Structure 1
C-alpha cells in the first residue's frame, strides 16, 4: 500500500477540516480529532487499521473486472482512432481538428452516396440470384420426386401391411406365411385363394401364378388342454380369405395399369429435364439487372463526385484517402 504524505499544517489557524477530519493545531504539533469514518491522519501520514483494510479491498484497487473494462474501452477507443486516421489520412489535425470538419464531411458524404447506391444494387442482384437458385432447386427437386416414383413403380416391394391371421400376413403386393423358422413369400398378382373346412380345421389355400400352393389351417375344434392351439371361428377365417382376394384384385389392377403409369412418369421426367424455361428466365433477369447497374448514369455521377472528393483531400493533405 502506498504511503500517505503528510500535509503541511497551517500555522495561522487553531482548527481546520481536511478530508472530513478535524485537525487541531497546537504549539507541540497537530492533533487529529477522533471521528467514526477512520480517514487518514493527513499530518502524520498514518491510516487506521480499518481504513487500511478498505484501501486494500478490490473496490479500492479496481479489481480484475474493472481492469478488463478499462482494457476493452481502451481497445475500442484505439480501434476508432486508428480507423479514423486511416479513413482521413494526413495526421491528427486532418483527422480530428474542427478546422477540417467540413472537408471530412464532404468526403464522408461522397463515400456514403456511393456506398448507398452499391448497397441497393447488391440487394437487387442478390434477390435475382436467389430467384435463379430457387428455379434450379425446384427443377432438381421435381426430377428427384419423379425418379423416386419410377423406382417405386418398378420395384414396389411388399407394400404396407393389410392384415394378418395366424401364420399368414397380407401386404399390398405380397403374402407371407410363417412355417416354423422359415418365411414363405409370394406375389399377389394372379394368385388364387380358396377356403375350405372340416370337423377340426378351417383352411385357406393360396395358389400363386406358378401353380404352387400354400395351405394355412386354423383350428376351430376345442383343442386338448395340453395342445395350447389358438381357436378361430369360421367367420373370421372367411373374412380374411376375402381380404386376400380383394388385395389380389387390387394388385392385378395395379399390374395392368403399371406400364401406362411408368410411361407417364418417364414422359413427365423427360419434359421436366428438357424444360429450363424458368431457370433461363431467372438468369436473364439477373443479367438484365447487372447490365442496368453497369449502365446507370447516376452511378457515374456518384463515382465522379467521390473521385473529386478524394482528389480534394489529396490536395489538402498530400495523402490519398481510401474509397
Structure 2
C-alpha cells in the first residue's frame, strides 16, 4: 500500500472520529473538543457509563438466572428420559447385537431372525425352540415358533457352510433361547422397581423449581432496585445541563 493511500486512510479515520465525537457531544466544535467544556463532557460520560453499567449488570444477572432454569429443565428431562429408557429396555430389550448366522437364520441377543420364502420374520428368542437334522447335502433346522407352529429352514452344505457350522449354530441358538427365558424373567422382575423409579424421577422437580424461584427473585429484586431509575434521572440531568449549554440534547 502506497504512502498516498495511507494518508487517505488516516484522513478517513480522523473524519470518522470527528463525526462520532460531534454526535456524542452535539452543539458544535468547541463543545465537542474545547477544553472549557471538558468537565461537562466527563459528567455526561460518567452518567452514561453509570446507567449502562447497571443495565449490563442486570442483564447479565437475568441471563445467568434464565440459563440456570434452562439447564435445570434439561437435566430434569434427561433424568426422566433415562428412567423411561431403562423401563422400556426391561419391557422390550429390542433386537440386540448380532451373535451368529447361518443360511437364512440370524441370531441376535434377543431375537431370532428368519429369512425364508422371500420374507423376514423376527421372533423373541425366549419364545422359540430350535433343533437340527442333517443329510449329506443340507442341514435342516426346525423352529418351534411363538404361534405354536413349526418351521423348517434348510441350509445348503458346501465349502462355505459345513455341517459343523450348522450344528454349532443350532447349539448356540438353543442355549441362547434358554438364557433368554431366564433373562426375561429377571428383567420383568425389575419392572415394578423401574416403574416406581420413573414416577419418583417425574415427581422430583426440585431442580427446575429452585431455578425458577431464583429467576423470579432476581426479576423481583431488579424491579424494586432504585439504582437504575436513579442513574436514569442523573443522566437526564446531565443531558438537561448539556442542552442548556449548547441548545442541543445529547443521546
TM-score, length basis structure 2: 0.78
Unaligned runs of 5+ in 1: 1-57, 221-227
CA distance in 1, matches of 2:155, 2:223: 83
Greater Cα radius of gyration, structure 1 or 2:
1
Residue 126 of structure 1: aligned partner: 63
> Displacement, 1:244?
0.8
Question: Contact conserved, 2:134 with 2:163, CA < 8 A, in 1?
Answer: no
Shift of 1:252: 1.8
When residues 295 and 209 of structure 1 are mapped into structure 2, their CA distance, relative to the original with a 3 A threshold, is closer
Distance, in Å, in 1 between the alignment partners of 2:173 and 2:10 is: 78
Q: Distance in 2 between matches of 1:266 and 1:72?
A: 73
- Please point out which of 268, 273, 280 is paired with 2:202: 273
SS at match of 2:130: strand
Contact 1:219 1:230 in 2 (8 A): no
Instruction: State yes or no: 1:292 paired with 2:221.
Output: yes
- 1:303 and 1:59 map into 2 onto residues whose CA distance is 49
154, 159, 162: which one aligns with 1:232: 162
* 1:113-172 deviation digits (Å, cap 9, x = unpaired): 222232222222211111011111222333344455555555554332111123321112
Q: What 5-or-longer segments of structure 2 have no aligned partner?
A: none
Offset at residue 219 of structure 1 (A): 6.8
Please, which moves more after superposition, 288-297 or 244-253?
288-297
Residues matched between the structures, number = 251
Match of 1:89 among 6, 12, 26: 26
Q: Distance in 2 between matches of 1:104 and 1:231?
A: 93
Higher relative contact order (CA 8 A, sep 6+): 2
Whole-Å separation in 2 of the counterparts to 1:231 and 1:305:
91
Q: What is the root-mean-square deviation of aligned Cα atoms in Å?
A: 3.6
Give a deviation string over 1:9-67, Cα, whole Å, max 9, x none.
xxxxxxxxxxxxxxxxxxxxxxxxxxxxxxxxxxxxxxxxxxxxxxxxx979x6xxx39
1:57-89 CA-partner distances (Å, limit 9, x unpaired): x979x6xxx39x837952x54443333233222
TM-score by length of 1: 0.63
Query: Could you say what secondary structure the match of 2:202 adopts?
Result: helix
Shift of 1:282: 0.9
2:213 equivalent to 1:316: no
Q: Is the contact made by 1:219 and 1:229 (CA closer than 8 Å) also made in structure 2?
A: no
Is 1:252 the equivalent of 2:181?
Answer: yes
- Report the structure, 1 or 2, having the larger helix content: 2
Q: Please name the residue that 1:212 is paired with.
A: 149
Q: 1:203 to 1:145 in 2, by over 3 A?
A: same
Classify 1:187/1:232 alpha carbon distance in 2 versus 1 (closer, same or farther; 3 Å).
same
CA distance in 2: counterparts of 1:141 and 1:257, whole angstroms: 26
| 1:160–1:315 CA distance, 2 compared to 1 (3 A) | same
Other structure's SS at 2:151 match: strand
